[in-house]
Structure formats: C-alpha cells, structure tokens
Amino acid sequence: MVSTKAPEDAYTAEPFLPDRGGLPALRRAAADCRGCPLHRDATQTVFGAGTADARVMLVGEQPGDQEDRQGKPFVGPAGRLLDRALAEAGIDPGDAYVTNAVKHFKFTRAEPRKRRIHKAPSLREMTACGPWLAAELAVVEPELIVVLGASAGKALLGSSFRVGESRGALLEREIHGRPERLVATVHPSSVLRAQDDEDRKAAYEGLVSDLKVAARALS
C-alpha cells in the first residue's frame, strides 16, 4: 500500500513513482503526488514538457502563477523571456525538455483573494521532489542539462552550489551515478526583477551568453 500522507519528517515523492513506463506514466503518477505539503495549496502538478528524445534538459525552480493555472512549465513571463533568449542563443525549443526542480507552485498571499506571491521552495521540499527530476533525467538522458538559477543548481549539484561561481562554463558532474554535462545560468525571473533597463539589459545579455555556451556544447 502506498501511504497517502507523508509524515512531517519524511517528505518524499518516492512512494508515488511508478515502477515502470516512460514520461506519460511519470506525468500521470506525478499528478497525484502528495510527497510534501506543497500539493495542498497549488492547483495542480506541473510536470516537465518535451519529448523523451530531447537533447537538452532545462531545469528551473518551480512553477509560477501562470504555470500553476495552465499545468505547463515556463508559460508565463519568465518562460517568454526564456524562449526569446533560447532563440537568440540558437537552441531549438524542439530539442529541449523543460522542467522544474519542484513540481508544485509555492506561494504566499499578502491578503486573502489577493495576488499569489512566489515563495522559494525549501531544501526539504526540493529533496522531496527530487525523485521526479531523477526519473525525468533517467528517461530523457539529455546530452546537456541547463541549470536555470540557484534552486535548480542546489537540487542537482548540492546545497553549496552558487550560480555566480558556476555560470557560463561547461561542467561535468556525476548525478545519480551518471556522468552529466551541465551549463548553469541565472534564472530568467532574475532578469525580470532587475532594477532598471540598463541592469535588465545586462542580465539578459548574460543569460544569452551562457545559453550560447550550452548551444556550442550541443553542436
């Protein structure tokens, strides 16, 4: 029997993973995940999007407001910016599998019925959700992983990961016992949060330049 409630000290998606099957089976099972408390307030699980033969896997933090409503990753403002940056860097969206370290939207509300404000997932929640990301990696076996921001980096490479130290270089690391190639960059939302136009332009150009490193690694 699969337990339906995770005890406080044991948040994990593990019991909800299917024994077999590809992405469709994973997506179906993830829809019912209750491996941590984040499923309670969110609308739905936002699983990765793309095909099992994708060459590159892009990993973000967690779905945002729009993603939570639509059930698809990177369909809101950050996603639009990411699409533009990918096109500019020469990465074909058809080659990409897009997902997040955490599959449910975490948010707070300043007041009831007010706008939902993104809240960063805790290490515990990222660890709980890790089995889904590991399963996606095992099925897709991408040639390259693009790490979008600190949360994705911590989820994949450990809590000491820092974007500033790792970005824009081709890294080779063992993840879940397999050698992986990765390129880290900033999260597209951080570009949207820039203080003024000048900062935003610089942040965007930095993102595109890191993605060009990824594009070269794929060519």
Shorter beta-carbon distance to ligand URA: residue 17 or 78: 78
Query: How many residues make up the chain in this entry?
Result: 219
Q: Does 67 bind ligand URA (CB under 6 A)?
A: yes
Question: CB 80 → ligand URA: shortest distance, Å?
Answer: 10
Structure tokens at 1: 């029997």
Q: How far apart are CA 87 and CA 213, in angstroms?
A: 13
Residue with tokens 């150009």: 205
Question: CB 89 → ligand SF4: shortest distance, Å?
Answer: 29
Q: Does 78 bind ligand URA (CB under 6 A)?
A: yes
Q: Are 126 and 151 in contact (CB under 8 A)?
A: yes
33 is in the binding site of which of ligand URA, ligand SF4, none (Cβ under 5 to 8 A by kind)? ligand SF4
73 is in the binding site of which of ligand URA, ligand SF4, none (Cβ under 5 to 8 A by kind)? ligand URA
**How many CB atoms sit inside 10 A of residue 14's CB?**
14
Q: Does 207 bind ligand URA (CB under 6 A)?
A: no
- Cβ-closest position to ligand URA: 60
Q: Are 96 and 54 in contact (CB under 8 A)?
A: yes
Q: How far apart are CA 27 and CA 51, in angstroms?
A: 12
Residues 87-126, one symbol each (x = binds ligand URA by CB under 6 A, - = not), give -------------x--------------------------
Residue with tokens 């990824």: 214
Q: How far apart are CA 177 and CA 167, in angstroms?
A: 23
Contact set with ligand URA (CB under 6 A): 60-64, 67, 73-74, 76, 78-79, 100, 189
